[in-house]
Amino acid sequence: MVSKAETRAMKKALKLAAYGRGSTFPNPMVGAVILDLNGDHAGDGFHRKCGAPHAEVIAIASAGDAASGGTMVVTLEPCCHHGRTGPCTDEIIRAGISRIVIAMTDPDPRVSGRGIKQLESAGIEVETGLFSGKARELNRVYHHYLETSRSWITLKMALSLDGRTAAADGSSRWISCDKSRRLVHRMRTSVQAVLTGAGTVRKDDPELTVRLADTLSGRQPVRIVVSSTGDFGDSWKIFKSPGRVIIAVPEGVAMRLTEYTGIPGVEVWEFPADSGIQGINLTSLFERTAAEGIGSILCEAGSDLSTRLLKDKLVDSVSVFTAPVILGSEGRPAFELLGIDNIENVIRLENVSSHRSGSDFLTEGCVVYRVD
Ligand SMILES: NC(=O)c1ccc[n+]([C@@H]2O[C@H](COP(=O)([O-])OP(=O)(O)OC[C@H]3O[C@@H](n4cnc5c(N)ncnc54)[C@H](OP(=O)(O)O)[C@@H]3O)[C@@H](O)[C@H]2O)c1
């Protein structure tokens, strides 16, 4: 049985955990609250960034002596192994916690149930499953990484009412309203990288930084541009605006990019040419980004790259703004051919939310792929 105070504490722990968004990867976001013997709030903490103390340790320190005999409410099973920091289970046992309420077990095979067993063996009463759905959703990037070794990809698009991304001449600024554009800048602050294709760079010369008023957080996402040719036309803004820029190209193209690699922050990643496609294997790209600590990526590309990502089943969630404008079938479609020949084969979304964003409508959801 979970008490009302513990339920309230878990809601707070989930909120605290979210403060670590974008900074904890490859660790999960975790929040913890400690209730004293009377069920009153005694301390709390969250995991701020990878390598920093874990939420449980911070919460114990902030509760002081009140932790002894108290209850810990935590969004994820405490770790029981030596990583960058020591095992949290040892700290919890040492602090004299008598009961622990855990939202979900840790899918990391080094922990997965072992943390709970250790706590139970030490005589601590353990309750699991409170708000487990919310806890899983909170750490979807972490779960995805453990399951696939890849970064989480969110495909963001601004569409006309008739599903077009640009007019016939390629102009697309601005399909969406001011409010939606500010929201996109906020989305950029919550991911670790923004991805686009060379087609958008050539056509729009975008910066893809966070720069609109009230969205500035001081943190700029890494910008990634994929190209099979290394041809960016006369566009320079993305390379010259401050921050890290990765140009991802097939082997042999880097030597054509010397005028870009001289710019501070710009680096080139080469991948073996993929015999089946023109360009690089995008799965390899996202395995490398994840290995380099980039957990989440917002894709802001045109129909070519967006289609390739969907076809390769690499889009994990979508954020689509629909604006009250019509571009006609001469406009650029959101996607090219996807090979969907029957309504039964559509790509569906789950956990869908829709709401107004100024004069636009924002629909978000996770992509469900058919198992072939
Ligand atoms: N409404 C919106 O939300 C939105 C958002 C972004 C862009 N747009 C519009 O979209 C239009 C551009 O669309 P687009 O389809 O041409 O551009 P895109 O999808 O952004 O870029 C396509 C290019 O990306 C590179 N690429 C794609 N897959 C690759 C792979 N696997 N390996 C290596 N390189 C890869 C290729 O570059 P190379 O040619 O160098 O090989 C390809 O030509 C513009 O008009 C822009 O305004 C609209």
Judge if 131 and 213 occupy the same domain. Answer: no
Inform me whether the pLDDT recorded for 31 exceeds 90.
yes
Residue-wise DSSP of 316-370: -EEEEEE-S----TTSEESS------SGGG--EEEEEEEEEETTEEEEEEEEEPP
CA distance 275 to 272: 9
Judge if 231 and 306 occupy the same domain. Answer: yes
303 touches ligand 1 (CB under 6 Å): yes
> Quick one: tokens of 133?
């759905």
Kindly report the pTM of this predicted structure.
0.92
The residue contributing the CA closest to ligand 1 atom 16 is: 199
Judge if 260 and 347 occupy the same domain. Answer: yes
Judge if 220 and 116 occupy the same domain. Answer: no
Judge if 113 and 189 occupy the same domain. Answer: no
Inform me whether the pLDDT recorded for 216 exceeds 60.
no
Domain assignment present for residue 144? The answer is: no
Tens of pLDDT, residues 317-353: 999 999 999 999 999 999 999 999 999 889 999 999 9
Inform me whether the pLDDT recorded for 214 exceeds 70.
no
282 touches ligand 1 (CB under 6 Å): yes
* Structural domain ending residue among the three candidates 139, 172, 195: 139
Residue 173 to residues 132, 235, 327, Cα–Cα distance (Å): 41, 16, 13
% of residues, the chain, pLDDT over 70: 98
Domain assignment present for residue 330? The answer is: yes
Mean pLDDT of the 48-66 span: 94
Q: Per DSSP, what are the bridge partners of residue 226?
A: 197, 248
H or E segment and range at residue 180: helix 178-189
Q: Say what the pLDDT of residue 23 is.
A: 87
Total number of domains constituting the chain: 2
Domain assignment present for residue 201? The answer is: yes
Atom of ligand 1 nearest to the CA of 303: 15
Count the Cβ atoms, other than its own, within 10 Å of residue 275. Answer: 6
Mean pLDDT of the 239-249 span: 95
Q: Rounded mean pLDDT of the chain?
A: 93
Judge if 111 and 207 occupy the same domain. Answer: no
Residue pair 43/65 in contact (Cβ under 8 Å)? The answer is: no
Q: How far is the CA of 351 from the centre of ligand 1 (A)?
A: 28
Judge if 287 and 174 occupy the same domain. Answer: yes
Q: How confident is the model at residue 22 (pLDDT cuts 50, 70, 90)?
A: confident
Q: Say what the pLDDT of residue 146 is.
A: 94
Judge if 101 and 217 occupy the same domain. Answer: no
Q: How confident is the model at residue 275 (pLDDT cuts 50, 70, 90)?
A: confident
Judge if 98 and 153 occupy the same domain. Answer: no
CATH of the domain at 24: 3.40.140.10
Give the residue with greater pLDDT, 215 vs 114. Answer: 114
CA distance 195 to 96: 47
CA distance 304 to 344: 24
Judge if 257 and 303 occupy the same domain. Answer: yes
Domain assignment present for residue 116? The answer is: yes
Judge if 51 and 161 occupy the same domain. Answer: no
Q: Say what the pLDDT of residue 217 is.
A: 60
Inform me whether the pLDDT recorded for 276 exceeds 80.
no
CA distance 334 to 304: 9
Tens of pLDDT, residues 88-143: 999 999 999 999 999 999 998 888 889 999 999 999 999 999 999 999 999 999 99
Judge if 121 and 162 occupy the same domain. Answer: no
203 touches ligand 1 (CB under 6 Å): yes
Inform me whether the pLDDT recorded for 51 exceeds 70.
yes
Q: How confident is the model at residue 213 (pLDDT cuts 50, 70, 90)?
A: low
319 touches ligand 1 (CB under 6 Å): no
What domain range includes position 338? 149-368
Inform me whether the pLDDT recorded for 286 exceeds 60.
yes
Inform me whether the pLDDT recorded for 215 exceeds 60.
no
